[in-house]
Structure 1
Amino acid sequence: MTGMTEMNPTSTTILWTGASQDLTSLATGGRLQTGSYTVTEDAIRFASGLISTREESIPLWMVMDADLTQHISQRVRGVGDLTLRLDPRYAGRFGQALLILRSIENPSAVRDLILRQANAVRQFWAQRSYERDIELRRAGAVSTNIVVPTVTAAPAAPAAPALEPAPASGDLMAQLVKLGEMKTAGLLTDEEFTAAKAKLLA
């Protein structure tokens, strides 16, 4: 069973790094920054503060959506604020439901990068959980409840996972029950659930 601890970020591969290009940064020639941000393959790491610095990390699978805002002075400087909405079910563990990357350069490209990578990470853990659950069932283990965040709409929609071929009539009900559990756990969209169910009943 995939747990939250296993899903903690571990990658050190950096996909993007940047800092707040706000008035404080401009006034000091970049010597003082109110925020710095790094996106790795599986996390967003950020530090904020001028006198004392607070460093935190948010797993990418928590990012559900992103909003970009630019006021006039930001648009002139080519920067903007990127607000990331995090999965509220895990806000208590990570202490926040929103993460704002303030006054970052090329914000639309950063938004697309984060959403694309967040979706890829969620697909990875969903597929891993699905494969592990299938292995447990084949070994005769009791079906487990999978804790995986719901896959959000993003540039690439995940493909429906392959079902075990030609289930025996006695196993049909178990397969249908399993499909329902996967849909409830967020591993299947409504469309994927309907298609998989139709395939079983064909």
Structure 2
Amino acid sequence: MLKRVLLTLSLLTLPFAAQAEDVYVAGKDFDVINPAIRTADPDKIEAVEFFWYGCGHCYTFEPVLAQWKKTLPEDVTFRGIPAMWGGAMELHAKAYYASRALGVEEKMDQVIFQALNVDRKQLRTDGEIAELFVQNGIAEEDFYKAYNSFGVGSQVSQANATARAAKITGTPAMMVNGKYLIGPRKAGSTANMLKIADFLIAKERAAKES
């Protein structure tokens, strides 16, 4: 008799357990990208941040995101994609990929964020950006070689195409596995964006394992 009661109770609680797991809802907390965007590595679950160095919210989000990235399991990859809506944003995107080509991304990400958000520099010309790199130990010749390279130009074009396909409307925004877009407006906060990203990563992992 006791076993029957316990079984009945467990069956009654199943719908509530399912509801508890489905914390975040498409259209309400995040958007579904249709058609889905191809990821860099189909064998991994990909998390992306769309950002702009000159975005104050991106600047304050950066240290929180850095800590979150350290917690990502081995089956998850992360990459940043600079947003471009005209003006100097394309130059800043070139600086982003140039810093990676030169292997100085950890240092220069912080330097460029600082320059635009704290020091209030405009960085509207190639020369201003070059000067910033030179001030931080990169030879001007090496900077321009990377900055104007075919590889950096291709990455900038691809980043712009990806952001357009995702239909981002602001920064920061996050994308999970090319299928889901998370923005602070629907998420409620940048901190909540990471919780939703964790939820969607788990969802994608479960789909891969099924």
TM-score range, shorter chain: under 0.3
Q: Which has a greater percent of helix?
A: 2
TM-score (norm: length of structure 1): 0.23
Provide TM-score, normalisation by structure 2: 0.22
Instruction: Return the structure number with greater strand share.
Output: 1
